[in-house]
Amino acid sequence: MPPEPRTPAQYWDTYKPYRGEGEQPAPVADRFKWTQYPGHGPGAEVLGDPRRALDLGPAEGREAVFLARRGVATTGVDLSAAQVERASRWWKDTPGLTFVHAEAGDYLTSSTMPFDTVYSVWGAVWFTDPELLFPLIARNLTPGGIFAFSQAEPSLGAYGPQPMHGKWLEGRESELTVLRWQYTPQTWADLLKRHGFTDIDARILPAPGGEGLGTLLVRAHGPARPGRHQAEVGTGLIRGPRGITEREVDADMGRRVSR
């Protein structure tokens, strides 16, 4: 049994331990998956056609290796040293793929090369304060680059930073708290807009057949000019039953135009 984790980084070192015999085999990386359901939901097309990509919290690295095999120079940044060591070992022969052990905010603060896309699949965006993370992501995107992330749909009324539950996090002598940030699609859209993102699409993807936990999927474009938040004039939010998409609204005519 692994030692009891005492920090969030150590918690992720012990997450989903391998229980089979011998060395853990590398997972299949034949599809870019935003949801937890096989063959469900969109794929890498959400990210456009990037040349350089940053994966925040790649864990096993499946999405990162999928992109790298298609010629995208991809960097995966993970808080867990164990996850980074494992992914680096599995995918060491994949050209254009790098894994870095770092906290997402620290990496983005020190990074000097912009990315065409920054994404997170049930990863670091879920577990980092967006008020701290989103400005850093905006600064690290090429002008108009794409930021996208997915995570579990929020529980009704459980919004803001919420403590995780489960093994190592409850019923222990020394307290360990791992937070994850949960909001409605509308609130995520508002947060992104406040930090200069545009063309925001935030929605819930229902589980297959409508049964089970859905997936929050958010996509936005970064500021058109690096380091500057463009003014948003005459905009409104068009709400759907399960999501929200930013639209430009003509103040006089009430005419909706896709942004």
d(CA 179, CA 188): 17
Percentage, residues of the chain above pLDDT 70? 75
The total of other beta-carbon atoms located within 10 Å of residue 9's CB is 16
In this structure, of 84-93, 100-109, 165-174, the range with the lowest mean pLDDT score is 165-174
Q: Is the pLDDT of residue 240 over 50?
A: no
Q: Is 225 exposed, middle or buried (0-12, 13-18, 19+ CB in 10 A)?
A: exposed
Q: Are 42 and 203 in contact (CB under 8 A)?
A: no
Three-state SS for 97? strand
Longest distance between any two alpha carbons in the chain, whole Å: 68
How, if at all, do strands 243-249 and 52-56 pair?
Answer: unpaired
What 6-12 contacts at long range (C-beta under 8 Å, 24+ apart), as own/partner pairs, is 6/174, 6/176, 7/176, 8/79, 8/127, 8/176, 8/178, 9/79, 9/80, 9/81, 11/168, 11/169, 11/176, 11/178, 12/59, 12/78, 12/79, 12/80, 12/82, 12/83
Q: For every residue of 193-236, which 3-state class applies, written as one string?
A: HHCCCEEEEEEEECCHHHCCCCEEEEEEECCCCCCCCCCCCCEE
Q: Give the per-residue pLDDT at 208.
A: 94
Q: Give the per-residue pLDDT at 259.
A: 31
Q: Give the per-residue pLDDT at 177.
A: 75
pLDDT digits (tens, 9 = 90+) for 144-187: 999 999 999 999 999 999 987 655 444 445 567 789 999 999 99
